Chains A and B, each alone.
Chain A
Amino acid sequence: MSFEIALRHRIGECELSVQFAVQDQVLGLTGPSGAGKTSLLNCIAGLIRPAQGRIVVGSRVLADTHSGLSVPIEQRHAGYVFQDARLFPHMNVAANLAYGRRRADAAPRSIDSAMVQEVLGITQLANRSPDTLSGGEVRRVAIARALLSGPQFLLLDEPLASLDQPRALEILSMIEDLVREIRIPVLFVTHQPDLLEQLASNILELPQSPLPLQR
């Protein structure tokens, strides 16, 4: 089992209600903006505590409101690539990439830092400050940072946005290679499901918008 998720969570005036269980290593997730894709990822990463539900990734139960279990964020070992990158502005690229290294060193399978930087084409950026990077560079550094933190699963929130088409395809095939090699569950959120046909064996679509609360 890669992802087994059943949760209900209220966001503002709407309620996000999701339930699925899949075996696929790579799961695509699509749906219109406002459907709650990012909220779902935040629940899995532990940044949001769902009001009710159960989250299992791989063989680990990360949260179960029924038994009151909620694994702390830092112990969930998510490799989360945020839609807004969230590079640390006071650290250069090398320090950003090294931030998760302590955990990565303890992980059973680690990913070679030089190889990732090479594939993502960011080797030259090590001493640069995030505010001097282009949008595409920021995204590639964010992907590398998540990969190098010793993740047990990946949450990719529109990782190909703001990349040009050749670069997007290149990164996609790199993710494909990595996924084949390290064999961890991947949840891939995208607006362009056609991009995922190669990579994901299963693509879920979240409905138009979360259900308005019943009054």
Chain B
Amino acid sequence: MITSAEWSIIGLSLKVSLVAITLTLPLAYALAWLLARRLFPGRSLLDALVHLPLVVPPVVTGWLLLILFGRTGPLGMMLENLFGISLVFRWTGAAVAAAVMALPLMVRAMRLSIEAVDRRLVGAARTLGASPWHAFRTITLPLSLPGILAGAMLGFARSLGEFGATITFVSNIPGQTRTLPLAIYTGLQVPGGESDVTRLAIMSILLSLSALLVSEWLIRRANGARAHVV
């Protein structure tokens, strides 16, 4: 069936994507809330910056990450000196690349769902004695839950498929940064690698498909649970 080499590629892909999405989720939601609910100077600029990875070529995003987080980059040096963390050629770097590429999709989905929450309900909660934070926790957050799940799903799928920024930023290192798409690319470079490529491609499709089904199920559950939340 599935060889141990293939398992390790799948495991690495899942690890990179899950870490990327888990770490990005709170940041994405905070950005989505800010963009949906607050007017502040520099809002358009922030909006544009968040969307940048969606519109520039992934290779450029990877190159920018290399400049910022590389051994001599300002953020890379800071991480190295303060925490002894290096992202270069490591799976952690692949996770950062996946997170940056997934961020705009997550913010978009969450922002739409926050905008769909009727602000008048938040006002009603406030008149009933809720502080802004309590009203957020009890009204805005639960009502935008389907958008959070949808955003996480989109981001996860995007992370699983991430190629350009990853290979530019952290290269194609077996066991560290060679996720499914990179492994498929590698297989294509090798004469006679077609059968490997086919197997990996099928696994990739199955993985994405199950992520989609799981998220659909979660969203349905979140919507169905509404009537039962006390």
Chain A interface (Cβ < 8 Å from any Cβ of B): 45-47, 72-74, 76-80, 82, 84, 86, 88-92, 94-95, 99-100, 102-103, 129, 131-132, 145-146, 149-150
Tell me which residues across on chain B come within 8 A of A100, comparing CB atoms: 128-129
User: What are the 3 tightest A-B residue pairs by CB atom distance, in nearest-first order?
Assistant: A103-B129, A100-B128, A129-B227
From B128, B131, B138, name the one whose CB has the most chain A CB atoms within 10 angstroms.
Answer: B128
- 21 A-B pairs with CB atoms under 8 Å apart are A46-B126, A72-B126, A73-B123, A73-B126, A73-B127, A74-B126, A74-B131, A79-B127, A80-B127, A86-B118, A88-B139, A89-B226, A90-B143, A92-B227, A99-B128, A99-B130, A100-B129, A103-B129, A129-B226, A131-B227, A132-B227
CB <8 Å contact, B129 and A77: yes
**List of A residues within 8 angstroms of B230 by Cβ:** 91-92, 94-95
Chain B 120-154 interface 0/1 with A at a Cβ cutoff of 8 Å (1 = within): 11011111111100000011001100000000000
What residue in chain B is nearest A84 (Cβ atoms)? Answer: B120
CA distance A82 to B127 in the complex (A): 10
Q: Which residues of chain B from 91 to 131 have any CB-CB distance to chain A below 8 Å in the complex?
A: 118, 120-121, 123-131
Residues of A within 8 A of B143 (CB): 89-90
CB-defined contacts of A76 to chain B, threshold 8 Å: 127
> What CA separation (Å) do A95 and B230 show in the bound complex?
5
Known: A47-B123, A90-B142, A90-B143. A149 touches B227 (CB 8 A): no
B229:A74 contact, CB within 8 angstroms: no
12 further interface pairs, Cβ-Cβ under 8 Å (given A46-B126, A95-B230, A132-B227): A47-B123, A47-B126, A47-B127, A82-B124, A84-B120, A88-B121, A88-B124, A88-B125, A91-B230, A92-B228, A99-B130, A102-B129
Instruction: Report B's interface with A, CB cutoff 8 A.
Output: 118, 120-121, 123-131, 138-139, 142-143, 226-230
Residues of A within 8 A of B128 (CB): 74, 99-100, 103, 145-146, 149
B127 touches A78 (CB 8 A): yes
Closest chain A residue to B129, Cβ basis: A103
Chain A residue nearest to B134 in the complex (CB):
A74
In whole angstroms, what is the CA distance A88 to B120 when docked? 10
Residues of A within 8 A of B127 (CB): 45-47, 73-74, 76, 78-80, 146, 149
Q: Give A47 to B135 CA distance when docked, in angstroms.
A: 14
Instruction: Considering the complex, give the chain A residue whose CB is closest to the CB of B119.
Output: A47
CA distance A34 to B130 in the complex (A): 29
Is the CB–CB distance between A90 and B129 below 8 Å? no
Least CB distance, B17 to chain A, in whole angstroms: 29
Q: Contacts of B139 on A, CB cut-off 8 Å?
A: 88
Q: Which residues of A contact B124 (CB under 8 A)?
A: 80, 82, 86, 88
Q: How far is the CA of A79 from the CA of B124 in the complex (A)?
A: 10
Measured CB to CB, the nearest residue on chain A to B131 is: A74
Contacts of A74 in B (CB 8 A): 126-131
Q: Specify the chain B residue showing the minimal Cβ separation from A130.
A: B227
The distance from the CB of B147 to the nearest CB of chain A, in whole angstroms, is 13
CA distance A132 to B227 in the complex (A): 10
Bound CA–CA A89/B143 (angstroms): 8
A131 to chain B, nearest CB (A): 8
B129 close to A150 (CB less than 8 A): yes
Bound together, the chains give a CA A80 to CA B227 distance in angstroms of 24
Q: Once the chains bind, are B229 and A92 in contact (CB under 8 Å)?
A: yes
Residues in chain A near residue B131, CB distance under 8 A: 72, 74
Contact in complex: A90, B226 (CB < 8 Å): yes
- By beta carbon, the residue of chain B nearest A148 is B128
Across the two chains, which residue of chain B brings its CB closest to A106? B129
Shortest distance from the beta carbon of A40 to any chain B beta carbon, whole Å: 15
The CA of A131 and the CA of B223, in the complex, are separated in Å by 13
The interface residues of chain B lying within 8 Å CB-to-CB of A77 are 129
A91 touches B229 (CB 8 A): yes
